[in-house]
Structure 1
Amino acid sequence: MTDDRVIVKCLVWDLDNTLWRGTLAEGDDVVVPEEVRRVVAELDARGVLQSVASKNDHDLAWARLEQVGLAEYFVLPHIGWGPKSASVRAIAERLNFAESTIAFVDDQPTERAEVAFHLPEVRCYPAERAADLVGLAEFSPPVVTEDSARRRRMYQAGFRRDAEREGFTGPDEDFLRTLDLRMTVVRATERELARAAELTLRTSQMNATGVPYDDDALRGLMSDPEHEVLVVGMSDRFGPHGAVGIVLLRRGSDVWHLKLLATSCRVVAFGAGSTLLNWIVDRAARAGVHLAADFRPTDRNRMMDIAYRFAGFDDEACGCLLPLGPVAVDGVQRLHLLPEPRPVSPVVTLDAVDLEVAHG
């Protein structure tokens, strides 16, 4: 059973008589229809990743994809002779995507049935519907951001990064130093608004509350001089990671209230969360204020709880918390820290906004 409200994050293509007309192994001069080319390009522009699950000779099929100018669009292709359900499952696991966000298109009813039997949450479509996929709601994200349009390239850079890490001999910190990691923290503008809202919805493992904020809610905070809506970006020598985090902070005279801190799970291994949290703690210490942080435990954000506790936040009551009033959402805990100056990161170069200068 699939949920039509869930947006597809990756479409897996069969090749013969699906992506192209003809059967490669039979010597056909396979041709990609123009309407299929347009679908591939449009889904890529929307941020929908695409892959391949095809029963074919790998080298021959990949060479043909390169010849027709489409190879660059596909991540983690599985071209071989195993069950297609195994290929689709491996793609989903490597991307760390829920199976409900995966789609599969194939001309053969038996192949679609095999995938549907083993992976009932995967959406399956016949090849004759391929040209119509861009018009379906599940392939139409409500907002297409700058990061959406380059999502495939960011994932491809990530795979190259992972491959280099596997070949690196030495401690993780030494490898991170080779990446030339850079983080930016900027005040959100209208340009970043959609991506900021998306981050509150899509991040779960490193999300302090799991409370979503839509464009209007964020715009209201942006217009309030006491609030900061900060968007976090990251890059390294392989390329940009895009927007990877959001901070919602209310700066009072005696206490700064960290309403939300969320970072993408893609950059956890690079110390993005700890770098960001250490920067906030250090800035609060230099401003001479206490820090309060909202935290609501969910079934996925145990890592965020550990990050707060490791940074020194606790449940101790403090008079500085009283002016903040009651928590706004059931289940939210309000943590407290009396901050002291601290180094931000030994491996990440940080370029951040000055929080001691009020915005707008």
Structure 2
Amino acid sequence: MQELVDRPTEASEIATSEFDAIFHRLAQQGVEALATTVTELAARSPYWDLQTAQSAYVQLLSTASEGIETGRVLDTSRALVRTPQPLAREVRALLHLALCGDSGFDVTRFSDQLLLCDTALGAAAGDAQGALATLAAETKRRGNGFAEAAEWTRFAIDAWDGFKPKLLIWDLDDTLWHGTLAEGDDVQLIARRAEIVRALNGHGIVSAICSKNDPAVAQARLEAFGLWDAFVFPRIAFVPKGEAVRQMIEDMQLRSLNVLFLDDNPHNLHEVAAACPGIRTIDATTTACDDLLEQILAEHRHIARDRVSEYRVLQTKIDERTGRGISNETFLAASNIHVLFTRLTENVQFADRIEELINRSNQLNYTGSRVEPGSMSEYIMRIDLHDTHGVFVWDKYGNYGLVGFMSVTPDTREVEHFVLSCRVMHMGIEAAMLHRLVCFYRPPDFKHLRKPLPEQPAVGITYAPVTDPANLARIREKEGKQRATPKLRIICDCQSGALQHYSRFADEIEFDANPRLFSLPMMKTGTYREQVFPQHLVFAAATDYLPFRWEERDVPFDPETYEECARAFCEAMNDGERRMLVILPPEDAPDRCYYPEARIRRAFARDNGLGWNALWRALASQYPAIIDLMELTGRIAHEEMVDACHYIPPRLREISGWIDDWYASVRPAA
């Protein structure tokens, strides 16, 4: 407890005055004042006497405890985990001494509120893993109320301990180069730091500049070093850095928690820290600075993503809006915003980006959710458990790619994920996403929402259909999923994306995904002529065993019409070049896998399945040159079936392998 007693022995007038100001601010503003209070205490309390410091810490803990008790757990925890390490250790030492005396830490002596305060401070003091372990252990021992509150504290600790920088803000003089430009020095670039700026751009972390220099002179020198285009949002002017950095972070639609500020001047470091609570700052003259830069680079080498162009688009938009002096609503209405939604296994191809979006997003992660690395492909494939929606946005300024993701549990209508990228903040995209969910679920259940959705309306938004090939090509190109002319098409509706994902011929495959699909009723309406059928097809016959497929196209669903359409399809494909693998659903599934007992509402009746399977066997005999059959009867265990035509991911992987074997036997030799 030495840190509590190594202080002045008597209170000074300055200490008393500073304490009074802090006391009144906490008393009046409560949790809202915690973040600024811990910053101020870290700077001032070391010069106070012991009694004044302890009184301030007691008031800090009292305010934090009241905040947790009134439901402000996340806000309180976020403020406490940002406490500078020396202060966090002092406050914890006082708390432990008050509750446990000299007998050592005893968790049973802590109320729920004070234990949450202690774990947040423990993370700030450098023991995040110990804090998380305490929360996990006590969640099992304490009631449901503590478990729910502990989840918020855990979320705050994860966000702080796992520092995930999205932006580095660089000073120039004696930070990016040696020397002072304004004093006429022949500045020398610090080569390794320049290399790191360029390298991080390729791994999803951008760099900006905040420097007190003449902008034209600084730009010329950066251009001479070949670095000007490596930075975004340059703020080069003789102005205070605290406000400049705060405004930059706001303009870039980021949070201070995800920003690192590098400067050689202690005054600038403290000024920025005070103006931007939660920001990481580091003295650029220390070896610790270079160690941290190398660590950040090493931890992000696995990410291949360049966001520089995205932030240039944002900078252009800000410059245009401020230059024209118009309201945000008027600006949005003139921006030609388009939103496109993808659903179910259409999203499998974007699983890596969806995982990144969920785990990187904090500010607009409205459900506060996180996922295990590599888990999203199978998560998306379980369409019986998760109705997933990808969100893509573009406007006249640029293509933002996949910027949002939603997932709903079909049986309960509970929204599991509602996440948006900060790149499209303040564009009304949340309203478009909410409208989408309301159309599918009336109403959706937002019990897992961790923060309220903004009330901003969707102004001037055009909803772009994924059925338009140009739109599909646009979103795939942005996410690096574009394909050459397909040689094989998988027509298996909502499982097509999973079968393509597992295939060793994935790059040669186009796949169906509702509403972008073919179905047999199109043979009656004539719209099949708009479809593209490559040389090889995989057709899941059960796709059209479902009555709604026919109802949605106003085509009668009866044996005669079905057979007419099936024969017409075979005739259309019988051009001497095409080959088709028709997958017949199992006939030995349990009753729970057929209508009306199936959990998935859109299942087919067993008798219909038997009849249609028999028809396809007859057609295969009549058209042996174009039709091969894959019989699933006896090949799928009952526990692997969601219903008779939907299967769990491990079985889909095996079916994809069977398709590959067929395709390898019929495709032209490479």
TM over 0.5: yes
In structure 1, C-alpha distance between the alignment counterparts of 2:257 and 2:202, rounded to whole Å: 21
1:261 aligns with 2:389: no
1:358 to 494, 506, 510: 494
Which residue is equivalent to 1:189? 348
Q: CA deviation at 1:33?
A: 3.6
Q: As a proportion of its length, which structure holds more strand?
A: 1
1:64 to 221, 226, 236: 221
8 Å CA contact retained: 2:266, 2:283: no
Which residue is equivalent to 1:324? none
Instruction: Give the superposed CA RMSD.
Output: 3.6
Mind listing any 5+ residue stretches in structure 1 that lack a counterpart? 311-343
1:198 aligns with 2:356: yes
Q: As a proportion of its length, which structure holds more helix?
A: 2
In structure 2, C-alpha distance between the alignment counterparts of 1:56 and 1:94, rounded to whole Å: 21
In structure 1, C-alpha distance between the alignment counterparts of 2:199 and 2:312, rounded to whole Å: 18
2:188 to 12, 31, 40: 31
Taking the TM superposition and a 5 Å limit, the aligned residue runs for 1:324-339 are: none
Which residue is equivalent to 1:164? 320
2:447 to 287, 295, 300: 295
Deviation string, structure 1 residues 169-206 (Cα, Å, up to 9, x no partner): 7776654343232223233225x323212333444565
Q: Which amino acid aligns with 2:281?
A: R
Distance 1:83 1:31, change over 3 A: same
Residue 239 of structure 2 aligns to a residue in which SS?
coil
Q: Which amino acid aligns with 1:276?
A: M
Residue 294 of structure 1 aligns to a residue in which SS?
coil
Q: CA deviation at 1:59?
A: 2.1
Q: CA deviation at 1:357?
A: 4.6
Q: CA deviation at 1:40?
A: 0.8
Deviation string, structure 1 residues 286-319 (Cα, Å, up to 9, x no partner): xxx7553333343xx2226x68xx9xxxxxxxxx
Deviation string, structure 1 residues 72-117 (Cα, Å, up to 9, x no partner): 2223323233343443333334334333332222344565455557
Deviation string, structure 1 residues 212-248 (Cα, Å, up to 9, x no partner): 2233542332232423333212111211223210021
Identical pairs, percent: 27
- Length, aligned pairs only: 310
1:231 aligns with 2:387: no
Distance 1:266 1:68, change over 3 A: same
Q: Which amino acid aligns with 2:212?
A: K
Q: CA deviation at 1:157?
A: 0.7
Which residue is equivalent to 1:215? 373
1:102 to 255, 259, 263: 259
1:49 aligns with 2:199: no
Q: Which amino acid aligns with 1:182?
A: H
Larger gyration radius, structure 1 or structure 2: 2
Residue 89 of structure 1 aligns to a residue in which SS?
helix
Q: Which amino acid aligns with 2:424?
A: V
1:7 aligns with 2:164: yes
Distance 1:89 1:346, change over 3 A: closer
In structure 2, C-alpha distance between the alignment counterparts of 1:218 and 1:353, rounded to whole Å: 24
In structure 2, C-alpha distance between the alignment counterparts of 1:176 and 1:116, rounded to whole Å: 33
Deviation string, structure 1 residues 121-178 (Cα, Å, up to 9, x no partner): 43213245455444225983486254xx22x321221121122233457776654343
In structure 2, C-alpha distance between the alignment counterparts of 1:99 and 1:346, rounded to whole Å: 31
Q: CA deviation at 1:4?
A: 4.8
In structure 1, C-alpha distance between the alignment counterparts of 2:227 and 2:427, rounded to whole Å: 32
TM-score (norm 2): 0.41
In structure 1, C-alpha distance between the alignment counterparts of 2:442 and 2:463, rounded to whole Å: 26
Q: CA deviation at 1:211?
A: 2.6
Distance 1:165 1:39, change over 3 A: same
Residue 88 of structure 1 aligns to a residue in which SS?
helix
Residue 103 of structure 1 aligns to a residue in which SS?
strand
In structure 1, C-alpha distance between the alignment counterparts of 2:223 and 2:277, rounded to whole Å: 32
Residue 185 of structure 2 aligns to a residue in which SS?
coil
8 Å CA contact retained: 1:112, 1:124: yes
1:241 aligns with 2:400: yes
In structure 1, C-alpha distance between the alignment counterparts of 2:299 and 2:418, rounded to whole Å: 28
Residue 232 of structure 2 aligns to a residue in which SS?
coil
1:153 aligns with 2:309: yes
Residue 351 of structure 1 aligns to a residue in which SS?
coil
1:74 aligns with 2:210: no
Q: CA deviation at 1:47?
A: 2.0
In structure 1, C-alpha distance between the alignment counterparts of 2:263 and 2:215, rounded to whole Å: 18
Q: CA deviation at 1:56?
A: 1.9
Deviation string, structure 1 residues 330-358 (Cα, Å, up to 9, x no partner): xxxxxxxxxxxxxx98532423479x952
8 Å CA contact retained: 2:336, 2:460: no
Residue 390 of structure 2 aligns to a residue in which SS?
strand
Distance 1:209 1:242, change over 3 A: same
8 Å CA contact retained: 2:341, 2:390: yes
Q: Which amino acid aligns with 2:404?
A: G
Mind listing any 5+ residue stretches in structure 2 that lack a counterpart? 1-83, 85-123, 125-159, 469-491, 497-670
Q: Which amino acid aligns with 1:160?
A: T
8 Å CA contact retained: 1:221, 1:228: no
Which residue is equivalent to 1:176? 332
Deviates more, 1:241-250 or 1:194-203: 194-203
Q: CA deviation at 1:38?
A: 0.9
8 Å CA contact retained: 2:352, 2:376: no
